[in-house]
Amino acid sequence: MSNATAPIKRFPISSLPLPPATHLVTHALHPDPATPSVSEFRNLLRSSPSTLRRSRILESSAHFTYVSPLPLPFPYQIKPEEGEKVEDQMAFVEKWLGDREALDEVPNVGGGKGNGHLKKLASKNREYYRELIGLSETGLRDCLPHLHVGDAFATLGTPTLAHEFDDEDIPTASDEEQAIRQELVDVLSGHSVLMTGQDTEDGVTAFGPWSLRYSGHQFGVWAGQLGDGRAISILSTPHPSDTELTYELQLKGAGRTPYSRSADGLAVLRSSIREFLCAEAMHALHIPTTRSLSLISLPHLQVLRERAEFSSVLTRVAPSFIRIGNFEAMNPPEGMMYLMMGGAGSGEQKSWEGLRVLGEWVAKRVLKLGGESDEPWGKKLVFEVARRNAKMVAGWQAYGFMHGVINTDNVSILGLTIDYGPFAFMDVFDPLHICNHSDDAGRYSYRAQPAMILYAAQALLNALAPLIGAEYASSPPSAVKSGWADGASREKIEQWTQKGKDEVEDELRRVVVDVCGEEYGRLMHKRLGLRRSDKSDEAEVSRPLLGLMEEHKLDFHGTFRKLCFFRPSWILPNNTTPTAPSDLDAYISALLSISPEADRMDKAKAAQDFKTWLTKYGNRVQSERDLWADGAEDEESVIQLREKEMKDANPRFVLRQWVLEEVIKKVERDAESGKRVLGKVLKMACSPYDPWGGEGDETTPNEELEPEIREERRFCGLGERKMIGFQCSCSS
């Protein structure tokens, strides 16, 4: 019997099933010697918690540190109580921190039973207000359909842009539903921590939260150890329909880790709102990305950036958060001088074993490359990571997404868009646009993005080259074994490195260029509503269109959306009349009017240019008419079909900078109403192709529209002129 319709059993967060030990990254990789196991980690939380909150350069082979969330203001305000005498300063610091660490077992929703494994820990000295302000239905549906969120959605209220909700009647949920939601908020805000009791219990997988150690090249310069400075993975759980697929839940902004350097480990609400919304928006555009689950505001916890801001904890979800920088940490480039904020500044060592262990895990469990156990995997791994990222960046280019900081530590091994910072979507098309306010040289400008992905892939190759060389040094080539580089001379390593590079380098460039080009072409064909793929299309159709957008300062997404409504019949000679404006003229005039520069452009030239282009495009569309109809269908149905397909590839709603800024302001001003606006914008971002704001009925004046529809229409627009091409700063 098929179980396709069987309901998925849902669990409160403390009862989510854990994956088997073989599927847990903390069991495969090397822990920080300070936290060699979950039980020793728990002892350390008691005996010397500052070890987890102090910035340290870790031993070379360590991949991660067990560390639990601790969202506290930083620098920590460690002060004795009135009249309290402090003899041993260090002991006082440890006690102060230890009192705040989540060490006390508290009953979970299942009355302590849960799945029998995870225990919930908290600290009675760390009580603070935590408010759920966002929960992603799509993130839940796709990654965690087995997570029970209780009455969380009800408490968020109805998503809306325009309504007043002082009088909204939210029905009271059952005690159980409320308790399930409260536990979810406790865990996802870093207030409560889930761990296993002991790692030795029968059948129990030792489990504790962790942060990854990585290094990286930032703006092309080696930056040494960075690591998850404010990201803590708190849970890993198999997807109910595919036990081979596990999802990690990661908190961003839940306090310091050994990788925080001099920073506070916290995230401002502003940047969390941006990531929360954009990850789901990207998914809706079919661009690979980490996903969003929840956003929790911590209003008691103010953080200082350019101004004092509220902090927040974002929960994001992905099968793995491993980056290219994790590989670079195992094989840092030599002879590099660098400054390390808050670090020891010591030179870093290489760890050949660490490299092998990480690589095997990524090849087998993360990328699932398959193959026999002694088959070489290094080369395959590099190509697979390159292919995935090339595909991803093609999506960025086709949809005008600019990441802003493509440092090698921000490039995912799975080819997911990760670490949303000063990102932006293109407004007026400008290939040289730089979205990151701090990127003076435009290293990460729109046009440079594919080249920067190639740079990151090459950094991965550089890290793995000696291992690949060693694999190919044997005949037939075979996977390296434990201790593969023990006693290898410097010359030997150099030889392997060269061999590894020779095996991969040229092809790597080709792979990135080809995969990116092919995917970009595929996506542009979809956006242009073309089913047949002609070699000349880029040179004759898509590039000239982008050139027109650039020259006449047209909005990138608005132009594509408008193109969905173009009819090729308008270019036929009998559609033009000498007196009345033709359909084509009217269409072009409407198209040009969506430019923010409409009143300043050379309208006559722009109109003529578009007429020429549309004529070419119209003919190109007509040339593949047979691909859209089998002859039985009438012209109108072909047109409708094409329009629908094009609309499904060209968003009506785009998460523009001005939209983000407005949502942020609203949430900062008043969380109660702000979270409803946030919820509605999330909805729009998750269904970006829908005709929001009564699209198609532009003749109804704004004043006559329902307030909600009117606001939707505004949110689909370009916003104020000063926000077009707005650059965001890095500080988050």
Q: Which does 692 bind (CB under 5 to 8 A by kind): ligand AMP, Mg ion, none?
A: none
Angstrom distance (rounded) from CA 318 to CA 327: 19
Confirm or reject binding of residue 229 to ligand AMP (CB under 6 A). Answer: yes
Angstrom distance (rounded) from CA 352 to CA 637: 62
Q: Which does 421 bind (CB under 5 to 8 A by kind): Mg ion, ligand AMP, none?
A: ligand AMP
Nearest approach, Cβ of residue 229 and ligand AMP (Å) = 2
Backbone angles phi, psi at 331, to 5 degrees: -140, 70
Confirm or reject binding of residue 497 to ligand AMP (CB under 6 A). Answer: no
Closer residue to Mg ion, CB minimum distance, 419 or 711: 419
Nearest approach, Cβ of residue 449 and Mg ion (Å) = 16
Number of residues counted as binding ligand AMP (CB under 6 A): 16
* Alpha helices, H only, 5-121: 25-28, 38-47, 50-53, 89-100
Q: Which does 190 bind (CB under 5 to 8 A by kind): ligand AMP, Mg ion, none?
A: none
Question: Residues near 698 by Cβ (< 8 Å), separated by ≥ 6?
Answer: none
Closer residue to Mg ion, CB minimum distance, 384 or 419: 419
Say if residues 462 and 454 touch (Cβ distance below 8 Å). Answer: no
In the region spanning residues 250 to 279, those forming contacts with ligand AMP, defined by CB under 6 A, are: 259-260, 263-266
Q: Which does 469 bind (CB under 5 to 8 A by kind): Mg ion, ligand AMP, none?
A: none
Q: Which of 421, 469, 674, 679 binds ligand AMP (CB under 6 A)?
A: 421
Closer residue to ligand AMP, CB minimum distance, 186 or 228: 228
Confirm or reject binding of residue 405 to ligand AMP (CB under 6 A). Answer: yes
Matching residue, tokens 């990222």: 389
Angstrom distance (rounded) from CA 378 to CA 385: 11
Strand partners, 304: 308
- Residue 166 catalytic? no
Closer residue to ligand AMP, CB minimum distance, 228 or 711: 228
Q: Beta-carbon neighbour count of residue 617 at 10 Å?
A: 23
Closer residue to Mg ion, CB minimum distance, 19 or 229: 229
Q: Which does 362 bind (CB under 5 to 8 A by kind): ligand AMP, Mg ion, none?
A: none
Number of residues counted as binding Mg ion (CB under 5 A): 2
Closer residue to Mg ion, CB minimum distance, 332 or 421: 421
Confirm or reject binding of residue 159 to ligand AMP (CB under 6 A). Answer: no
Closer residue to ligand AMP, CB minimum distance, 254 or 457: 254
Angle subtended at Cα 548 by Cα 429 and Cα 514, rounded to the nearest 5 degrees? 70
Angstrom distance (rounded) from CA 689 to CA 654: 9
Angstrom distance (rounded) from CA 503 to CA 471: 11
Q: Which does 227 bind (CB under 5 to 8 A by kind): Mg ion, ligand AMP, none?
A: ligand AMP
Backbone angles phi, psi at 684, to 5 degrees: -65, -40
Q: Which does 266 bind (CB under 5 to 8 A by kind): Mg ion, ligand AMP, none?
A: ligand AMP
Residue 229 CA, chain-centre distance (Å), reads 16
Region class of 133: left (phi > 0), else alpha (psi between -120 and 50), else beta = alpha
Q: Which of 228, 353, 384, 662 binds ligand AMP (CB under 6 A)?
A: 228
Q: Which stretch binds Mg ion (CB under 5 A): 123-131, 411-419, 442-450, 660-668?
A: 411-419
Confirm or reject binding of residue 415 to ligand AMP (CB under 6 A). Answer: no
Residue 560 CA, chain-centre distance (Å), reads 25
Confirm or reject binding of residue 410 to Mg ion (CB under 5 A). Answer: yes
Strands 215-218, 64-66: parallel, antiparallel or unpaired by DSSP?
unpaired
Angstrom distance (rounded) from CA 416 to CA 679: 24
Angstrom distance (rounded) from CA 570 to CA 584: 5
In the region spanning residues 169 to 208, those forming contacts with ligand AMP, defined by CB under 6 A, are: none
Question: Residues near 455 by Cβ (< 8 Å), separated by ≥ 6?
Answer: 217, 220, 406, 408
Confirm or reject binding of residue 226 to ligand AMP (CB under 6 A). Answer: yes
Region class of 404: left (phi > 0), else alpha (psi between -120 and 50), else beta = left
Residues across the chain = 732
Query: What would the x/- binding string for Mg ion be over residues 362 to 401, using CB under 5 A?
Result: ----------------------------------------
Confirm or reject binding of residue 227 to ligand AMP (CB under 6 A). Answer: yes
Across 397-531, the runs of DSSP E, i.e. the strands, are 401-402, 424-425
Query: What would the x/- binding string for ligand AMP be over residues 283 to 302, using CB under 6 A?
Result: --------------------
Q: Which stretch binds ligand AMP (CB under 6 A): 95-103, 162-170, 225-233, 435-443?
A: 225-233
In the region spanning residues 661 to 720, those forming contacts with Mg ion, defined by CB under 5 A, are: none
Matching residue, tokens 């030599």: 334
Angstrom distance (rounded) from CA 178 to CA 184: 10
Closer residue to ligand AMP, CB minimum distance, 508 or 728: 728
Nearest approach, Cβ of residue 589 and Mg ion (Å) = 45
Say if residues 109 and 129 touch (Cβ distance below 8 Å). Answer: no
Say if residues 342 and 437 touch (Cβ distance below 8 Å). Answer: no
Q: Which residue is nearest to ligand AMP (CB)?
A: 229
Q: Which does 378 bind (CB under 5 to 8 A by kind): Mg ion, ligand AMP, none?
A: none
Q: Which of 151, 264, 409, 419 is catalytic?
A: 409
Angstrom distance (rounded) from CA 133 to CA 377: 44
Cα 482 to Cα 91, 177, 214, 459, distances in angstroms:
41, 50, 22, 24
Nearest approach, Cβ of residue 328 and ligand AMP (Å) = 12
What is the SS3 string spanning 584-617?
Answer: HHHHHHHHHHCCCCCCCCCHHHHHHHHHHHHHHH
In the region spanning residues 414 to 433, those forming contacts with Mg ion, defined by CB under 5 A, are: 419
Region class of 563: left (phi > 0), else alpha (psi between -120 and 50), else beta = alpha
What is the SS3 string spanning 216-247?
Answer: EEECCEEEEECCCCCEEEEEEEEECCEEEEEE
Query: What would the x/- binding string for Mg ion be over residues 604 to 643, using CB under 5 A?
Result: ----------------------------------------
Q: Which of 351, 410, 445, 657 binds ligand AMP (CB under 6 A)?
A: 410
Q: Which stretch binds Mg ion (CB under 5 A): 260-268, 406-414, 464-472, 525-533?
A: 406-414
Q: Which does 62 bind (CB under 5 to 8 A by kind): Mg ion, ligand AMP, none?
A: none
Q: Which does 555 bind (CB under 5 to 8 A by kind): Mg ion, ligand AMP, none?
A: none
Closer residue to ligand AMP, CB minimum distance, 264 or 503: 264
Angstrom distance (rounded) from CA 519 to CA 470: 33
Nearest approach, Cβ of residue 457 and Mg ion (Å) = 17
Closer residue to ligand AMP, CB minimum distance, 155 or 407: 407
Catalytically active residues, by annotation: 409
Chain residues in the site for Mg ion (CB under 5 A): 410, 419
Chain residues in the site for ligand AMP (CB under 6 A): 226-231, 259-260, 263-266, 405, 410, 419, 421
